[in-house]
Amino acid sequence: NAGVTQTPKFQVLKTGQSMTLQCAQDMNHEYMSWYRQDPGMGLRLIHYSVGAGITDQGEVPNGYNVSRSTTEDFPLRLLSAAPSQTSVYFCASSYSNYGYTFGSGTRLTVV
């Protein structure tokens, strides 16, 4: 049982490049979310999903796309990277209202 797995752990992008942050969970959780964390800003919700085929926008969705074709996977796509997207990205999953399990994070730098 690996929990929530995020890849890559570190990434450097040039402005304008696109990439996909991967997230997979093996706990059969219906709820999955993506957060970004910046110093002093806490965790801000980017997109979330209530199940395969269903996604919705969070607090800061601009510049990001998501899809949920399976219960296990919830990739986050950066369409055209900008320095403002330099952050630590966390994926999380949950099966109930109780608590989310977080991945170890992806540290992204856009230069």
Partner 1 sequence: GQSLEQPSEVTAVEGAIVQINCTYQTSGFYGLSWYQQHDGGAPTFFSYNALDGLEETGRFSSFLSRSDSYGYLLLQELQMKDSASYFCAVRSSSNTGKLIFGQGTTLQVKP
Q: Which residues of the chain form contacts with partner 1 (CB under 8 A)?
A: 30-33, 35, 40-45, 48-50, 56, 58-59, 90, 92, 94, 97-105
Closest by alpha carbon to 23, among 34, 12, 15, 14? 34
Q: Which is nearer to partner 1, 1 or 14 (CB)?
A: 1
Report, in Å, the least distance between residue 90 CB and partner 1: 6
> Residue 61: what residue type?
P
Report, in Å, the least distance between residue 81 CB and partner 1: 23
CA separation, residue 53 to residues 17, 31, 36, 72, 89 (Å) = 26, 12, 22, 12, 22
Biggest alpha carbon–alpha carbon distance for the chain: 39
Report, in Å, the least distance between residue 74 CB and partner 1: 12
Following DSSP, what letter does each residue of 65-88 receive, concatenated? EE--SSSSB--EEESS--GGG-EE
Q: Which is nearer to partner 1, 75 or 102 (CB)?
A: 102
Q: Which is nearer to partner 1, 17 or 31 (CB)?
A: 31
Report, in Å, the least distance between residue 17 CB and partner 1: 26
Q: Which is nearer to partner 1, 17 or 86 (CB)?
A: 86
